[in-house]
Structure formats: C-alpha cells, structure tokens
Amino acid sequence: MSWQGELNRYLASAYKNWIISRRNIFTVFELFFWPMVSLLSIGLLTRFLAVEGSMVSFLLVGAIALTILQVAQIDVAYVLLFDMWSKSIKNTFIAPIRSYHLVFGALLFGILRGCVVFFILVAVSGHLFGFNFLAGGIFPVLAFLAGIFAMAASIGITVCISILTFGQKADVAAWSLSGLILLVSGIYYPVDVLPPLLQALARAIPLTYFLEYYRSIFIPGPHHLAWGCALASFYLILGLILLDRAIERARRTGILLRLSE
Amino acid sequence: MVARMKGKSVQASGICKRYKSFFGRSSTIMENISLDIDAGDIFGLLGPNGSGKTTLISIFSTLIYPEAGSLSILGMDARRNRNAIRKCINISTAKPNFPWSLTVKENLRHYGMLYGLHGSDLSRTVRDQIDAFELGEFQDHRFEDLSTGLKQRLSLAKAMLNHPSLIFLDEPTTGLDPDISIKTRQLIRRIHEEEGISVVLSTHYMPEAEMLCDRIAFLRQGRIVALDTPHNLKRHLALGERIAVSYQGEADLAVLEEQPGILGLKAEKGRVEIIVDRSEESLDGIIKLFAKAKITDIAIKEPDLEDVFIELAR
C-alpha cells in the first residue's frame, strides 16, 4: 500500500472525530465552557486567598495542564466510544487496521483541540490574572505540551482497553481516570504533601515530571524532564501493545460482537 | 457478467466457539462446523433465531476467533493472515449501524480511508458506490435520518468499498418492507453477477435463500444439520411434491400408500394429501386409484424451503 493510503488509515479516525465534534453542540462545552470554568475558578481562588505571584503560576500551570489533558485524552477515547455508542464497532474492526492507526489518528485531532484550548487559556490567564505562560520560551512550551499529549494518549488507550475488556459500562473510565491523575500527580499541590504510597504512585505518572519541569521556569528548582519523557514513551508503547492484545482478546471472547449489539 | 472464480472462498473444518462468562462458566455456541464454499457462489446460512448464523459469519469474517478448528478464507490461513484477509473481504451487518451524525457520503469516505483509499481513488470509489446503490439523493443526509432501507443500502455500499472478493451479508433484508427487500435481493444478485464476488449470506427468509443461494447450510443450535443445494435439500428430506385430492365416494388409501414413488400421505374425510417423489410420474397411477370415486378437486404443490425449514427446525 502507498504511503498516502497508510496515512489515510490514520487520518480516518481524525476525520470521524472532527465531523462528530463539529456537529455536536456540546463540543462548545468541552472546548470553552469547562476549560474556562476550571481556569477562572482557580484564578479567582488565588485572588480570594491573596496567593503571591509564584504560587499563582504554580496553580494556573496545573489548571491549564489538567484541562488540555482532559480534552486530548477524551478524543483518543472517543475513537472507540463513538463506535460503541453508535454500535458500529464491527464495521471498524472488519477493516485491515491496527490499534496504532486508531490511536494516532484520534490523538492528532486531540492535539488540535488541545492546542485550541491551550491558546485560549494562555490568553485568558494572561489577560485576567497577568500570568505569562510563555515566559520560558517556545521549547519549554513544546516539551510541556508534548508530555501532556503523550500522557493523554496513554489515558485514552487505557479507556479503550477497559471498554474492550469489561464492556460498555467501562466507558465511565473516560471521565474518571483524569480525576485520579488530578489527585496524585500534583496538579494543585506538590506531590510531597501526599501520603508515601500516593507519592510513589505520583512518581510513576509522567505528568508529575512535566508539571515539575514547567513550574521550574517560574519557581526555580530541580526537575526530571528526561525521566518524564522516558516514562511517557514507555507507557505509550506499552499501551499500544496492550491495546492490540485487548482487541485480540475481545475477538476471542466475543466482547467485540456484544459491543455492537 | 464476470467469469466464475475457481477454488474455495471458505474452507472450514471443525470450527468450535465457546463463550466464557466473567465467572468462568462456558457455553458452547458453535460445535464442529465443517464446510467448503466454492469461489463465486452465493452461499446461504439458514436457521432459526439463535442458531449461530451471525456467530459463524463473524468467525468467517475474522471479527471473532474460534477456539478450535482450521479456517481458510480465499486460500489464506485465517490465523496467520488476518490482515491480508481483511483487505479482501467485507461485511454488511444485520441491523446496519454507522456513526450517527456522519452523512452517507462522509460515512463512505471514513470507511474508505480505513481501507487505505486516498485522493481521487477515494472520491471516485465513494461516488461509484453512491451511484451503484442509488444513494445520490441522500448522500448529504445524516445516518440517523435515514430509513431502514436506506441504511441497508449504505451498509451494502460500504461493503463494496474495498472491491472485496468475498462479502458477508448478515440478514440483509431483515426489517425491510417487501418491495425494498425485493430490491435489495436484486442488488445482491447484481453485485454477485457483475463483480463476480463470492457471497455468504445469512437469512431466515426462505424465498430469499431459494432465490439467491447456490448452496445452503442449515444451522440449528450451533451445528450444521443439513448442507446442500436448495433442490437437493428438498429431495433429501423427502419433501416431495404434494398432490391434494378432494373426492366423493370410496378410495383405497391402503393400496395408494404402497404405490411406487409415494413418500407419504395424510388423509381426512373426503380429502387426501399425497407426498410424491415426482408428480408427473405418479399422477396417472393416483388418479386410477380413485376410479370408484368422484374427484372434485386436485392440486399440485411443489415443496419450498419453508417446508425444509420447518422440518429441520423441529
């Protein structure tokens, strides 16, 4: 098959997600309403508590990171959720595609949506709270976003694996997994304040390191960006392998048929 | 018409499928299915609801995997060459479903992209299928706004996107109005003849199987209970032609039953239904046995697959 044909197999998921999002009024909520609620509530809280400058950046970096993560990860999960909700999974899995076609196509659209949200939040946080997110230059921003999108892909893949393993009811994972990340990866507080067990869990989550890295621009301190990148890559590769296995298992157990009924 | 292909489109031997529940309880869905389907044939899977037709189609189309047995699709081993097989086959599912908010054209584009079509080739293929299945008027209608018949046509159009050598049609006319069913059957016949595609279709509509299929496997509780041409199935089950004779007076039914070519008879007062192997060979002899009676009516009915279905589903 030509490279254009292979490329189109990736783009198929992005194309589907784009059209469905375009026609769904609730996309406005996903792209504007919830991100703004998240940013404004944290920003206003910092004013109410009279939080000083570096702590404002600590909290706003967390709020922006969490919002982009949620938007991008749900797009990866949508690649299976849309098929499951419309009961058209058979039509997708009869085609000669692999898990990475689905994941990277959907992630591409997730990155696009994530970037839109990012620019809106950066502009609003600068305008309302005087926070210059881009103060560290372009490379730190790119590294930070790349880390978040890799993390989003891993969470989206985990949602897909859950659905293929446990069936339709597991779609709740699409919204609850990012809550777990919020709790343990130091979105609004340093991981040092967590109990030892949760601290160990936080150290296993790449987002912890990307937050630590980006915050070091505003509050100088050590960071472990390389370790975060290594972990993110490991989870992404592991996720793709496990997703392929989950698809094969779903074909053996017949869950793939039940997801279409 | 395209010349018929040689070889086998499906070779299955000892196929078994079991489902395990979360707690480990196992139930057998398919047991020891063995069959060959000639390339270029329309092959029918018949059986009552729950007999395993959809499961078997799903196994043949590599959507799900069997626990045991060997399976070859278009000459390729179904365990080793799944992706290669998927490039050459396609399916139209029972109760066709597609992403709701995509239009007919967008759905075809999306699935065309999954098959690696691109550029002008993708646009042309989508346009060709829209034309072939008379979907032009509805190409910008969302899937959720389509009637059942149009959804079925979209499903067939999608199944043709990759120019498959073998397509699986799972109950392609279920839920359709009679006129749309007839049109759909004509479409299937046309696809088969013009493109030379092998077709495996499941149905529980007897006229559909009789009209379309070269051979039929009758499934019951996950097993094949009969496999033959429609004509032979009727013959082998001794479902001969039925001669119904209404009469007044006396008729020696005991002698009638012993006549050659008589497969059985059912008598009630003034009427007897005689099942014969071939009516043209038996009719003369039967009429002679009613010499002392007055025949008031006589009717000959050929057996159909409905009779086969009733007989085998028992």
The predicted complex's ipTM stands at: 0.91
- In eight-state DSSP terms, residue B102 is S
- Whole-number pLDDT of residue B314: 64
Residues of B in contact with A7 (CB under 8 A): 118
B residues 163-192 near A, CB within 8 Å? Answer: none
- Per-residue burial over A155-193, b if 16 or more Cβ lie within 10 Å, else e, is bbbbbbbbbbeebeebbebbeebbeebbebbbbeebbee
H-state helical runs in chain B: 53-60, 82-88, 104-114, 119-132, 148-159, 178-195, 206-212, 230-236, 253-257, 279-289, 305-313
Residues of B in contact with A100 (CB under 8 A): none
- Whole-number pLDDT of residue B305: 63
Dihedral angle at the C-alpha atoms of B254, B259, B264, B268, nearest 10 degrees? -40
Selecting from B86, B109, B158 the residue whose C-beta is nearest the C-beta of A96 gives B86
Q: Collect the ranges in chain B with pLDDT lower than 50.
A: 1-3
Of B155, B161, B92, B150, the C-alpha closest to B126 is: B161
Let me know: does B167 contact B191? Beta carbons within 8 Å. Answer: yes
Q: Collect the ranges in chain A with pLDDT lower than 50.
A: none
- Whole-number pLDDT of residue B204: 78
| Number of domains observed in the structure of chain A | 1
CB-side neighbour CA atoms (13 Å) of A97: 33
Residue-range domains of chain B with CATH: 8-228 (3.40.50.300), 239-313 (3.30.70)
Selecting from B87, B99, B118 the residue whose C-beta is nearest the C-beta of A96 gives B87
CA distance B66 to chain A (A): 7
Tell me which residue range forms the domain holding A117: 3-258
Alpha carbon separation from A22 to A18, A19, B311 (Å, rounded): 6, 5, 54
Within an 8 Å CB–CB cutoff, is residue B26 touching chain A?
no
3-state secondary structure of A173: helix
- The sheet carrying B271-276 orders its strands as B262-268, B271-276, B241-249, B293-301
| Joined tokens for residue A135 | 């103060």
- Whole-number pLDDT of residue B1: 46
Residues of A in contact with B113 (CB under 8 A): 8-9, 11-12, 15
pTM of the model: 0.85
- In eight-state DSSP terms, residue A32 is I
Residues B176, B6: Cα–Cα separation, whole Å? 34
- Whole-number pLDDT of residue A141: 95
Residue with tokens 């499906």, as numbered in its chain:
B10
Residue with tokens 């994530």, as numbered in its chain:
A114
